[in-house]
Amino acid sequence: MREITTLKWEKGNLLLLDQTLLPHTVTYVTCKNLEDVYQAIQTMIVRGAPAIGVAAGYGMVLAAGAYEETSEESFFDYLKAQGEYLKSSRPTAVNLMWAVDRIVKTAEGFSGQPFETVVKEIEAEAIAIHEEDKQTNRNIGMNLLSLLKDGDTVLTHCNAGSLATAEYGTALSVFYMAQEKGMNIKAYADETRPRLQGANLTAFELTEHGVDVTLICDNMAAVVMSQGKINAVIVGCDRVAANGDTANKIGTFSVSVLAKQFGIPVYIAAPTTTIDMDCPTGKEIPIEERSREEVLRINGEYIAPKEVKTYNLAFDVTPAEYITAIVTEKGIVYPSFRDNLKILMRK
Ligand code: MRU
């Protein structure tokens, strides 16, 4: 089995597995400054909410190191401005905002210290964000596993796997924890148009790890559910609002509606870093709209008239009523989400 790491921090550079080239090519892109990280996030070289957060942490280290001590702008004003710029690379995954704010807060905690000390502390914090994500995902996987029984089959959408995180993934962590426990949990993966994360990434990473995975087209979810092949839907998330409404990859909403129709539970694998208690409901979650080219082409080839109108939302919001439970590293949250998320986030 190949060991494939999504993000590496080596000798003061951020190395990112180029996810736009998977599953055919495994190669890394080196980010030497904040602009490189911004571009990597925007072009989805790195993607998936927690991985974007980890990359942003290191992006801030690179920004801090590039500060000119002779500059008229104070270091803290500079760092905040760089952070705001980085946050604008993709709007939906709140982990990006969370990681930037955490780094800025760390820096502020060392104000008055020599510049080199502050930069070192920022680097230590970025590494901590990276390391914490691994343990978080193991815990989410174990909590998800407690909701399943040996032999179950899970439908997932997009990629909320090790490629989307520091390691293990959130939704896909359940398959790796099952392997560790000697349980047999099978996967169905939606292909996930337009970017095909299910086909290019989930099918790839689960196959690499020896998980039994069946790839289906997005429009097949209803029939596989009706055939009794699916015991649970488990997906990741980019932002969970305080009332439980959840933004995730476009198509998650449809899958959740179908699951309700067929009496199949829908579990959201959510690190607490993706829960935004300042966002009251799904209506306030900013939804990224991406280029029309993503809809018009597959693998670079046009599949539609170039002039046709398109609409390309990268995410949708699944209303809380379609969600059975939100599974975090701190525990499993059931409705009423508004009350129970509040209790969880106080822990
Ligand atoms: O556009 P992407 O590939 O960044 O979207 C990713 C998703 O929607 C994931 O499900 C989500 O970020 C959770 S990743 C653990």
Of the listed 36, 133, 190, 238, which one is catalytic?
238
CA of 48 to the centre of ligand 1 (A): 4
CA distance 256 to 258: 5
239 lines ligand 1 (CB under 6 A): no
CA of 197, closest atom in ligand 1: 3
Question: How far does residue 190's CA lie from ligand 1's centre (Å)?
Answer: 13
The residue-averaged pLDDT of 145-171 equals: 98
Quote the CA–CA distance of 274 and 238 in Å, as a whole number. 6
> What number is the average pLDDT over the span 170-177?
98
Nearest atom in ligand 1 to 157's CA: 10
88-118 per-position pLDDT tens digit: 999 999 999 999 999 999 999 999 899 999 9
> What is the number of the ligand 1 atom nearest to the C-alpha of 288?
1
Q: What topology is assigned to 7-137 in CATH?
A: Four Helix Bundle (Hemerythrin (Met), subunit A) (1.20.120)
**What pLDDT band is residue 72 in, cutting at 50, 70 and 90?**
confident
Closest atom of ligand 1 to 201 CA is 3
2, pLDDT greater than 80: no
Give the nearest ligand 1 atom to 165 CA. Answer: 15
**Given this model, what pLDDT does residue 85 score?**
98
d(CA 64, CA 122): 8
74 vs 3, more confident: 74
- For residue 160 and ligand 1, the question of a CB distance below 6 A is answered with yes
Per-residue pLDDT band at 70 (split at 50, 70, 90): confident
Is the confidence at residue 69, as pLDDT, over 90?
no
How far is the centre of ligand 1, averaged over its atoms, from the C-alpha of 112 (Å)?
A: 38
User: What percentage of the chain carries pLDDT values higher than 70?
Assistant: 99
Cα(105) to centroid(ligand 1), Å: 26
Among protein residues, the one with the nearest Cα to ligand 1's atom 8 is 249
Query: What is the model's pLDDT at position 317?
Result: 98
Topology, domain 147-345: Rossmann fold (3.40.50)
* Mean pLDDT rounded to a whole number for the chain: 97
What is the structure's pLDDT at 128? 98
Q: Say yes or no: CB of residue 165 within 6 Å of ligand 1.
A: yes
Closest CA to 8 of 25, 29, 23: 29
- Does ligand 1 have an atom closer than 6 angstroms to the CB of 320? no
User: Could you give the CA distance from residue 184 to residue 181 in angstroms, rounded to a whole number?
Assistant: 9
Whole-number Å distance, alpha carbon 125 to ligand 1 midpoint, is: 23
Query: Using a 6 Å cutoff on CB, does residue 236 contact ligand 1?
Result: yes
Could you read off the pLDDT of 235-280 as tens digits, one per residue? 999 999 999 999 999 999 999 999 999 999 999 999 999 999 999 9
Cis before 23? omega within 30: yes
- What pLDDT score does 182 carry? 97
Section 23-44 average pLDDT: 98
The string of pLDDT tens digits covering residues 184-208 is 999 999 999 999 999 999 999 999 9
238 is catalytic: yes
What are the residue ranges of CATH 1.20.120.420 in the chain?
A: 7-137
In the chain, which segments carry CATH 3.40.50.10470?
147-345
CA of 157 from ligand 1 middle (Å) equals: 9
Q: Is the CB of 90 under 6 A from ligand 1?
A: no
Within 10 Å of residue 146's Cβ, how many Cβ atoms? Answer: 10
Residue 341 · residue 326 · CB < 8 Å: yes
pLDDT tier, 286 (very low <50, low <70, confident <90, very high otherwise): very high
Question: Any idea what DSSP says for residue 17?
Answer: E
Pocket flag, ligand 1, residue 196 (CB < 6 Å): no
Instruction: Quick: pLDDT tens for 310-343.
Output: 999 999 999 999 999 999 999 999 999 999 999 9
Burial class (CB in 10 A: 0-12, 13-18, 19+), 10: exposed
> From atom 10 of ligand 1, which residue's Cα is the shortest distance away?
236
Q: How far apart are CA 38 and CA 100, in angstroms?
A: 12
